Amino acid sequence: MADYKIHLLVCGGTGCKSSESQILAEHLRNEIGNQGLKDYAQVVGTGCFGFCEKGPIVKIIPDNTFYTQVKPEDAKEIVEEHIVKGRKVSRLLYKDPKTEKIITDSKGMEFYKKQVRIALRNCGVIDPENIEEYIARDGYSALGKVLTSMTPEETIEIIKKSGLRGRGGAGFPTGLKWEITRQSPGKEKYVVCNADEGDPGAFMDRSILEGDPHSVIEAMAINGFCTGASNGLVYIRAEYPLAIDRLKNAIDQARHYGLLGEKIFGTDFCFDITLRYGAGAFVCGEETALIHSMEGGRGEPTMKPPFPSVKGYLGKPTNVNNVETFASVPVIINKGFEWYSSIGTEKSKGTKVFALAGKVNNVGLIEVPMGITLREVIFEIGGGIKNGKKFKGVQIGGPSGGCLTHKHLDVPIDYESLVAAGAMMGSGGMIIMDEDDCMVDVAKYFLDFTVDESCGKCTPCRVGNKRMHELLVNITKGNGTKDDIDRLMNLGNVIRDTSLCMLGQSAPNPVLSIIDNFREEYEAHIAEKKCPSGVCKALMIYEIVPENCVGCTACARACPVGAITGERKEIHRIDPSLCIKCGACMDRCKFNAVIVN
């Protein structure tokens, strides 16, 4: 059969799928069938394109047409106009928000210009449910090369020289970890893929597993060969059903093709992978807690050393790597460490995937070379702040990271620079905040998360974070005292120094970095009892300006708690003791008589 002349790539990531991309793909297939073009055009469900802001995405190959926010009912027009007649459907094309120009070719999009896609190389390009598409793009050739022509030591040397570091957050050199696991004595060893992605707003690992599960399977097998393990385990959260389905399917296909199982590539190497489901506890992303959870125990961390590489799952040497780390391995083997280490900075090599979220125009998944600045990420790739508002801060590294401000915009993104600036790489969540966000509230939000997720094993984390959270709640309610900032800093430093695992050690980071960078906001809450951004409800007082009030009673009727009194044609009054600050009166008033203080 001849090859297809046109490919229609439809995003099948969780984001686009929930916007009916599957139905859309079905409609496209039907329309193509109706036009008698079944052997001419092919519809492919792919992984995430990263441009989640405007999903569902349909990309048409070979002319690189990039359609955004496509609905199932648009299928007919796309097929009739574009596929049959070669005319692009301009209303669905992406429009650059700055220049208002319609962009027909995805390569012209600012969003893609600065990206380098290595871990995401197949996301949005291949059908993740079809192993043949992965093989067609060099899939499993790295495993083949390693098994048939290299020794484990040589392979580890390549990973070491490539400079790849753990993408889960801490940045431990991957090659070194592999070497330690290899050198640990023991006949039985394990390879574990950490897919317990728990940061709020982060979806890098999920997208890789959904878009390119085979790259992770291949890398785990390579790791098995290097460390001497024949069992692989993927610890994945049960709340990622699509990723689980695709991974299961991919493992089955790999077994079917003889790429997992006994005597892979005709050698004596045997390797297989099973899945373990996590219930979604944040602490289980910590490797020792993850291992205990897999063993059937409580998801609690234990002291390191011994490191899992020496004594891990069931007491055996266990190599734990993150999804993104694994996804980078096959390319490094295929293209060589020189190529990989030529990308990035001196100490941080290669690329990093980030999930852009918050008040930025292009919410989505991006992969950038290390050393790129925050400014480039937020204002070029991210397309700047939503609705033309002013940039205020960016939280990097999720609840363990720190908050950076405009003075850090030119900081290069690499492990060391981010730590020096008071944040951390983390797993790659990037939440952007604008002038409407209250930083004290943001600090409270992240601490709220860590207090909830603390496993409770050690006191500084269990009790200390709770106390910090109470202080923050007090401040946002207007009950803060002027010693509170010092108290927060003291407590934060103690928790940082004395907690057992990274969850506790990093929990105070958002609070402390926000004190560093936005001290004046804390002070406004404490001294003036005011929330400059108008977020903290308890500090807002709704009032009626007598001069503007005409006594129309609209606000009184809108008030759900009956806090507004006043007769018709008389000036109304809000009782602050009853007011719940819902803002309904303000929305209703046509005379701008309701104000917030």
Partner 1 sequence: MDKIRNLADLRELKDKLQSKTKLRDKSETPEQMVQIKVAMATCCIASGSRETMNYIVDELDKRNIDAVVTQTGCMGYCYAEPTVEVILPGKEPMVFGYVDSRKADEIIEKYIKGGMLVEGIIPVNYKKID
Q: Report the first-to-last Cα separation within the chain, whole angstroms.
A: 72
| Shortest distance, position 55 Cβ to partner 1, whole Å | 19
100 in contact with partner 1 (CB under 8 A): no
Binding residues for partner 1 restricted to 235-294, rule: CB under 8 A = 256-259, 265-266
Residue closer to partner 1 (CB basis): 63 or 380? 63
What does the DSSP 8-state code read for residue 259? S
Residue closer to partner 1 (CB basis): 83 or 421? 83
Q: Read off the tokens for 451.
A: 């207090």
315 in contact with partner 1 (CB under 8 A): no
# binding residues, partner 1 (CB under 8 A): 38
Q: For the chain, how many residues are written?
A: 597
Residue closer to partner 1 (CB basis): 62 or 562? 62
Alpha carbon distance 254, 248 (integer Å): 10
Residue closer to partner 1 (CB basis): 84 or 582? 84
| Shortest distance, position 254 Cβ to partner 1, whole Å | 10
Alpha carbon distance 358, 445 (integer Å): 14
For partner 1, which residue of 73, 132, 295, 575 counts as binding (CB under 8 A)?
132
62 in contact with partner 1 (CB under 8 A): yes
19, 106, 35, 124: which is closest to 71 by C-alpha?
19
Alpha carbon distance 212, 48 (integer Å): 9
| Shortest distance, position 143 Cβ to partner 1, whole Å | 9
Residue closer to partner 1 (CB basis): 101 or 557? 101
390, 365, 435: which is closest to 54 by C-alpha?
365
For partner 1, which residue of 7, 161, 316, 573 counts as binding (CB under 8 A)?
7
What does the DSSP 8-state code read for residue 203? -
Alpha carbon distance 73, 331 (integer Å): 39
| Shortest distance, position 244 Cβ to partner 1, whole Å | 24
For partner 1, which residue of 38, 73, 98, 136 counts as binding (CB under 8 A)?
136
| Shortest distance, position 87 Cβ to partner 1, whole Å | 5
Alpha carbon distance 273, 260 (integer Å): 8
| Shortest distance, position 40 Cβ to partner 1, whole Å | 8
Site string for partner 1, 321-340 (x = CB under 8 A): --------------------
64 in contact with partner 1 (CB under 8 A): yes
- Between the alpha carbon of residue 225 and those of residues 37, 267, 344, the distances in Å are 46, 11, 28
Q: Read off the tokens for 128.
A: 């993740």
38 in contact with partner 1 (CB under 8 A): no
For partner 1, which residue of 20, 63, 77, 376 counts as binding (CB under 8 A)?
63
| Shortest distance, position 377 Cβ to partner 1, whole Å | 22
Residue closer to partner 1 (CB basis): 69 or 141? 141
- DSSP assignments along 104-155, one per residue: -BGGG-HHHHT---STTTTTTTS-TT-HHHHHHTTTTHHHHHHHHH--HHHH
Where are the extended beta strands (E) located within 418-521?
429-434
33 in contact with partner 1 (CB under 8 A): no
For partner 1, which residue of 20, 22, 26, 61 counts as binding (CB under 8 A)?
61
| Contact of 356 with 377, CB cutoff 8 Å | yes
Alpha carbon distance 468, 458 (integer Å): 16
140 in contact with partner 1 (CB under 8 A): yes
β pairing state of 564-565 and 573-574: antiparallel
| Shortest distance, position 63 Cβ to partner 1, whole Å | 4
By CB under 8 A, name the binding residues for partner 1: 2-7, 9, 40, 61-64, 84-87, 107, 125-126, 132-133, 135-141, 144-145, 147-148, 256-259, 265-266
